[in-house]
Amino acid sequence: MITSKRLAAGVCALLAALTAGLALPAPASAGEPTGEDAPQVDLVLDVSGSMRTKDIDGGTRMAAAKQAFNEVLDATPEEVRLGIRTLGADYPGDDRATGCKDTAQLYPVGPLDRTEAKTAVATLTPTGWTPIGPALLKAAGDFGSGAGSKRIVLISDGEDTCQPLDPCEVAREIAAKGIGLTIDTLGLVPSTKLRQQLSCIAEATGGTYTSVQHTDELTDKVSQLVERAADPVVVPAATEGADRCAAAPTLESGLYTDRVEFGQQRWYRVAVAPGKELRASVSVSADRAVAPSYGVLLRAVTAPGREIVRGEAAGDGRTDVVSTGLRYPKAEAESDDAAEEAAETVCLEVTHSFSAASGVKTTPGLPLELTVDVVDGPDDASDVASFGLGRGWWLLGALVVVGFLAGLVWGWVSRWRVAVWRTN
């Protein structure tokens, strides 16, 4: 049995780690937060009737959540703009249409007045339905327009009761808007359906799901999150690839996010100057049920359409993400007269072979994350040979020569032994 104190401390540590990670500064560049805008966090709390259940050290789930919130409010860094939204807190009736609209902003996302926020939390009483989907839609609009990172932390003890509005689809739609919003989820009871739903919500936006079914699991997960919060937070910049290279956006070095539909090509352009090397990688996530056979292809192509190099990966079975990458070094100018040679436009094409399972929505497209890095190239562009083998060609050649010589020696020794055996 999880005690109220341990649950509260775990939730507190989880949320504090998440908000602390948002507050870490990072250098300004494409795909990274500028530091000019404060990070924003919206805590979304389930206040449905099931939160009255007394299964946490003899106390209610609501009491444990309140205690956790109070500790989180005390520990929230000054620079974090924090808000609280509820679901199922106000309507006690049986009308489904009304119950599924029951979500409200308890405390607006902004500078935190701890006393005021604690007072608001103290008034909460478990009441109604569990409209997770509608609450997420509203929560996505709770944030200000700043460029700082944005995060929703959803805490619930049960799955959504307002189908057919699927909260997973809601999360995918939020991710498809490209606003850089991450949703992390926390489940308070051991339930397979709850785990599946909250995991799906988190995965759709690149967030995390945590279950507090057991104390050791809670401790391990919080420890991981605390360690992860020590790393700089990188927020992908939203972009939108085109259906052909000529219309594609030109990307600088950075981390980008996009959506690619089934059977669709996405094109991007990168300028590579002489003496530079393009390094690119792409990951496509399966955020819904897909067929077990899949693959992803990343091609670097010249503007006229000649393929330079490609990276590809494939698999069979269940997967969450498939990734591949490539490298393309552009040689230095051959003479001083060519020193001012213009950068080459390299077209990057992304395709995948995921296919939707029967009855699965095909829109929005699957999440795509593209990393582009243009760095100083090797001293000799031949150091990175075609097909990505690099200096491996030299090793391969050496092995062939050694093998050939070893074969000659062994043949001579064998014939000598046979000759000796015959003379004896």
Domains, the chain, with CATH or none:
4-229 (3.40.50.410), 237-386 (2.60.120.380)
In the prediction, which pLDDT does 272 show? Answer: 94
Query: Which one, of 133, 173, 172, lies nearest residue 154 by Cα?
Result: 133
Omega before residue 25 within 30° of 0, cis: no
- Report the alpha-carbon distance of residue 6 to residue 10 in Å, rounded: 6
The yes-or-no verdict on residue 66 having pLDDT over 60 is yes
Compute CA distances 170 → 139, 160, 164, whole Å.
Answer: 11, 12, 11
Mean pLDDT of 18-34: 40
In the prediction, which pLDDT does 258 show? Answer: 92
The yes-or-no verdict on residue 299 having pLDDT over 90 is yes
Instruction: Name the average pLDDT for the chain.
Output: 77
The yes-or-no verdict on residue 232 having pLDDT over 70 is no
Query: Which one, of 203, 158, 219, 174, lies nearest residue 17 by Cα?
Result: 219
The yes-or-no verdict on residue 165 having pLDDT over 60 is yes
The yes-or-no verdict on residue 224 having pLDDT over 80 is no
pLDDT digits (tens, 9 = 90+) for 392-415: 445 556 666 767 677 677 667 666
Mean pLDDT of 295-302: 94
The yes-or-no verdict on residue 261 having pLDDT over 70 is yes
The yes-or-no verdict on residue 8 having pLDDT over 50 is no
Give percent of the chain above pLDDT 70.
73
Mean pLDDT of 264-268: 94
In the prediction, which pLDDT does 422 show? Answer: 61
Place of tokens 């569990």: 130
In the prediction, which pLDDT does 253 show? Answer: 92
Which residues lie closer than 8 Å to 157 by C-beta, 6 or more apart? 46, 48, 50, 51, 53, 61, 187, 188, 189, 194
Give percent of the chain above pLDDT 90.
29
| Helix/strand/coil for 237 | strand
The yes-or-no verdict on residue 109 having pLDDT over 50 is yes
Query: Which one, of 323, 282, 321, 286, lies nearest residue 300 by Cα?
Result: 282
In the prediction, which pLDDT does 2 show? Answer: 43
The yes-or-no verdict on residue 31 having pLDDT over 60 is no
- Per-position b or e across 52-70, b if 16+ CB within 10 A of its CB: ebeebeebbbbbbbbbbbb
In the prediction, which pLDDT does 191 show? Answer: 84
391 DSSP 8-state letter? T
- Report the alpha-carbon distance of residue 268 to residue 266 in Å, rounded: 7
| Other CB atoms within 10 A of residue 396 CB | 11
- Token readout for 234 is 């990188």
Tell which wins on pLDDT, 143 or 397. Answer: 143
Asked if residue 131 lies in contact with residue 45, where contact means CB atoms within 8 angstroms, the answer is no
pTM: 0.58
- Token readout for 248 is 């594609």
